[in-house]
Structures are given as C-alpha cells and as structure tokens.
Amino acid sequence: MNVAVTGGAGFIGSHLTEKLLEKHEVTVVDNLSSGKKELIPENADFLEVDIKNTSKLREVFRGFDAVLHLAANPKVNTFPDDRDKDFEENFEGTKAVLDACQESNVEKLVFTSSSVIYGEDCEIPTPETANFDPISMYGATKAGGEHMCQVYQQILGLDLTIVRLANIVGGRAEKGVTYDFVQKLKEDPEELEILGDGRQKKSYIHVEDTVEGIIAAWESEETVFNIGNEDAIDVTRIAEVVSDEMDLDPDFSYTGGRKGWDGDVPEMRLDIQKLKETGWKPSMNSEEAIRETVKDLK
Ligand SMILES: NC(=O)c1ccc[n+]([C@@H]2O[C@H](COP(=O)([O-])OP(=O)(O)OC[C@H]3O[C@@H](n4cnc5c(N)ncnc54)[C@H](O)[C@@H]3O)[C@@H](O)[C@H]2O)c1
C-alpha cells in the first residue's frame, strides 16, 4: 500500500514509519515544528508540509491508500498559553486532514487520540466505552478530533481507526516524565525535583509495542482501540527506576499536590482487552519500558 504518515518526523511517527516500511511505501508529511528530518528513515519519502495548508495537503494526499494522522501539538501541560496552538494544530489540523482525505479519495484514516480524553473521574482500567471528560485543552481537542473523524466516517463512509494512546516512552522521546528526570539528573545528579506528590499513577508503554498496536488496530475491522499497558507505575517509582538506571542516588523533593500541573490526570490505566483480542500484546510492562527508555536516553 501507499501510505502517508503526518507527524512522521516526530517521536512516535518516526518509529511507526520504520515499522510500516517493512510492508508499505511510506511518505512522511511533517512541518518539522517539533519533529526532526534526521529521524525520518532513509527509505521513506518526505514532504515538508503544514497539515493546516488544506490546498497543498489535497495535492499531497492524491494517490495514497491510507493516511496515519499523528501530527499535533502533543504537549498536554500548556494551558492557558498553548490553547490557540492546541486548537489550530489538533482540531483545525485534523479537519484539514479529513477534508484532504475526502477530496483526494483517501479511503482509510488512522487518528491518534489520547487517554486524556477520559479525564480524571473515569473507571480504572478505562474501557473504550467510557465517557469523554477531558480536563485539558489538549484533551478537549483530541476528543473533538475524534468526533469530527466519526462524522466523516458516518456521512462520507471514511474507513476510520482511532487509537487512544496511554503514555508512550522509548528512544527519541523529548518530553514526558522519564525524559524530564533523565535531563534533570544530567544537570544535577544530587537532587531530583518531582512535580506533585509523586503518587500520580499511570500506565506507560514502549514505543515499539505502541507502533505494533497501531498497526494491529489499523488492520482490524473495529474503529476504536485503547493502547497502553496492563499495569501502572507511580512517579516516585519512576524516579527510583531512572536513578537506578543512571547509577545515581539523588535526594527527591516534591512540589506537592495531587497533580503535576493544571490539567494533569493523576491516575490512568486503560483497558486494553479489545486490542489484545486481535493477537497484539505489549512485550514490556511499564517499569521495563521505562528502564529501556532510560538506557536509550542517557
Ligand atoms: N507521546 C505520547 O505519550 C502520546 C500519548 C498520547 C497521544 N499521543 C499523540 O501521538 C501523536 C504523536 O506524538 P509524539 O509524541 O510523537 O509527538 P512529536 O511532537 O514527537 O511528533 C509530532 C509531529 O507532528 C509534527 N507536526 C506538528 N504540527 C504539524 C503541522 N501543523 N503540520 C505538519 N506536521 C506537524 C511535528 O513536527 C512532529 O514531527 C500526537 O498526535 C500525540 O497527540 C502521544
């Protein structure tokens, strides 16, 4: 198949492109706002395009069988400063991708959503049938993006897959708690500041397991899938694991409070039974995935 990956120069997109190239012709569509050209695998084609440029995107998408849409402002902890960026990149950007798919006769779209659409009061583990209750602008734009995609599916017959990702870790990550701890400990190996009370407990999944999950979801007949790990790990334990992998023994200090920042969801673990029924399962638990990530990042 001939496929396009928006955001393919980013963390998850570059790993996904690498995996897709085993079976498909892949073109990365990215404006390099947070992505990097050197992350794009050599045998992928690359088009430096902003997804919000609808007329350009229409030309670009012509001839593709499928689009895997990952381009977004992926920072969650940016309200109120990034509210316009979240809206433009995640919401308007997704509408531009949907319109370009329709106008260029792309039949299949994969949309990358997030666990944060469920908010903080959902049952744990959270099934795909749980209500949307986002508490960040990022989460709101992902929830809205899903709704828009489903309208194009229902009215225009778009063949749609939505993947709701937990916290993704692995080499090339340049954000998230594991990355932050590694950077902070490189600067000061004696002391580590932890945002919140350290008891925020979430599920982390390695990017290699994630891209296999995205492809398994894409190849199935169903529309919506959670992708995460079956276990969860708290932030203090992550600090211990990162310190251990870096052979350090820093003092921990806490900024306090249940949340690390406004819009942080203190507890998250997704029910992944639906995707497991396709035969996919994570090869590493949350702690193993974090250990692998530290080895790559340090
Ligand atoms: N990393 C996670 O833990 C996580 C969790 C849940 C969901 N997601 C979602 O997965 C997707 C990929 O996230 P990531 O962590 O790889 O982020 P990333 O920042 O590494 O990658 C995003 C890519 O999109 C590109 N991009 C941004 N705006 C663009 C635009 N207007 N036009 C073209 N390209 C644009 C960037 O240059 C970058 O290469 C995002 O949609 C994100 O919301 C990520």
pLDDT in tens, 218-276: 999 999 999 999 999 999 999 999 999 999 999 999 999 998 888 888 999 999 999 99
Name the residue range of residue 250's domain. Answer: 169-203+230-267+283-297
Q: How many domains does the chain have?
A: 2
Looking at the fold, whether 33 and 130 belong to one and the same domain comes out as yes
Tell me if 274 is assigned to some domain: no
Looking at the fold, whether 19 and 148 belong to one and the same domain comes out as yes
- Nearest residue by C-alpha to atom 23 in ligand 1: 7
Q: Which residues contact 13 (CB under 8 A, 6 or more apart)?
A: 5, 6, 7, 28, 30, 35, 68, 70, 71
Q: Which residues contact 24 (CB under 8 A, 6 or more apart)?
A: 1, 2, 3
Looking at the fold, whether 67 and 208 belong to one and the same domain comes out as yes
8 CA from centroid of ligand 1 (Å): 8
- Mean pLDDT, rounded, of the chain: 96
Looking at the fold, whether 123 and 199 belong to one and the same domain comes out as no
Looking at the fold, whether 30 and 72 belong to one and the same domain comes out as yes
What is residue 251's predicted lDDT score, i.e. its pLDDT? Answer: 98
Looking at the fold, whether 134 and 173 belong to one and the same domain comes out as no
Looking at the fold, whether 174 and 31 belong to one and the same domain comes out as no
Kindly report the backbone phi and psi dihedral angles of residue 181, in degrees, each rounded to the nearest multiple of 5, phi listed first: -65, -40
30 close to ligand 1 (CB < 6 Angstrom): yes
- Nearest residue by C-alpha to atom 1 in ligand 1: 168
48 close to ligand 1 (CB < 6 Angstrom): no
Looking at the fold, whether 120 and 30 belong to one and the same domain comes out as yes
Looking at the fold, whether 17 and 146 belong to one and the same domain comes out as yes
What is residue 78's predicted lDDT score, i.e. its pLDDT? Answer: 60
CATH number of the domain encompassing residue 245: 3.90.25.10
3-class DSSP state of 154? helix
Low-confidence stretches of the chain (pLDDT < 70) are: 77-80
Of ligand 1's atoms, which has the minimum distance to the CA of residue 115?
6
47 close to ligand 1 (CB < 6 Angstrom): no
Residue of 11, 75, 136, 206 best suited for mutating to test ligand 1, as the one with most atoms within 8 Å of CB? 11
Tell me if 46 is assigned to some domain: yes
CATH number of the domain encompassing residue 141: 3.40.50.720
Tell me if 195 is assigned to some domain: yes
Residue with tokens 């599920």: 203
Tell me if 122 is assigned to some domain: yes
What is residue 199's predicted lDDT score, i.e. its pLDDT? Answer: 96
Looking at the fold, whether 135 and 199 belong to one and the same domain comes out as no
For residues 285 and 12, what is the distance between their CA atoms, to the nearest angstrom? 18
